Amino acid sequence: MQLTEVSTMLTDYLLAAVTAALALALWRRARGRAAVAVHAIGFTALAVSAAAGGTYHGFALVLSPGTLYVLWKVTTWTVGVFSFCIATGAAVAYTRGPARLALVAAAGAVLIAYLAWMLAHDEFRFVIYDTAFAMLLLAALSLYAFRAGAPGAGWLLAGIAVSAAAAGVQYLRVALHPSFNHNDLYHVVQAAAMYLFYRGALG
């Protein structure tokens, strides 16, 4: 069996494993805590995305075109679910009343539009655009909460910074070695960001 993009596959699986472990930890702490539960859903979605993405990259010569199509759609759609959940989790944690409702509705509308758009598009840049919107919303909410002394907000801001660094690595195609490309480094840096988001989600 011939594998492709082995380092990308392995680092995707690493990101999936780290995120799945953090998701499980969030689920164990989610009882009676709506914001934590929303984050747990998001972490679960990203773990699925990384696992599907790793399989897509590693088994491109083995799997059928139809299977690869489904894997890529799962990869992109579940990133959208993560983006929605991380922004919504902060909205639930840090806002109340009409403001919360408006923020969740806006994030939900963006998610629906994103999922519909990705039905007919495969380019990863659209995933980046959607994630960037979620991170901007998360940054605004976290900065507001940080200034108010809310627990967890500083961790979320740190997670945003590390995620931005990961996106920069991918955009600039920063590679440590010909066999360890920008996608591989992105996965490793994003795994570190997920731990920071986890700490922030716990509040």
Task: pLDDT band for 31, please (50, 70, 90 cuts).
Answer: very high
Tell me what the mean pLDDT of segment 152-166 comes to: 97
pLDDT digit string, tens, across residues 94-143: 999 999 999 999 999 999 999 999 999 999 999 999 999 999 999 999 99
Q: Residue 130 in contact with residue 86, Cβ under 8 Å?
A: no
With 90 as the cut, is the pLDDT of residue 203 above it? no
Looking at residue 1, what is its pLDDT? 78
| Torsion, CA 78, CA 101, CA 135, CA 112, rounded to 10 | 30
Six token digits for residue 118? 């990705």
Q: How many CA atoms lie within 13 A of 32 on its CB side?
A: 0
| Length of the chain, in residues | 203
> Has domain 6-202 been given CATH number 3.90.1150.10?
no
- Nearest C-alpha neighbor of 142 from the set 171, 169, 166, 163: 163
Averaged pLDDT of the chain: 96
Residue closest to 126 by CA, chosen among 64, 83, 63: 83
pTM value is 0.95
- What gap in Å lies between CA 128 and CA 141, rounded to an integer? 20
Specify the 3-state DSSP secondary structure of 100: helix
Q: Which residues pair with 121 in a beta bridge?
A: none
Q: With 90 as the cut, is the pLDDT of residue 171 above it?
A: no
CA 75-46-111 angle, to 5 degrees, is 75
> What's the rounded mean pLDDT across residues 52-67?
97
Q: What is the pLDDT of residue 140?
A: 97
Confidence at residue 178, expressed as pLDDT on a 0 to 100 scale: 87
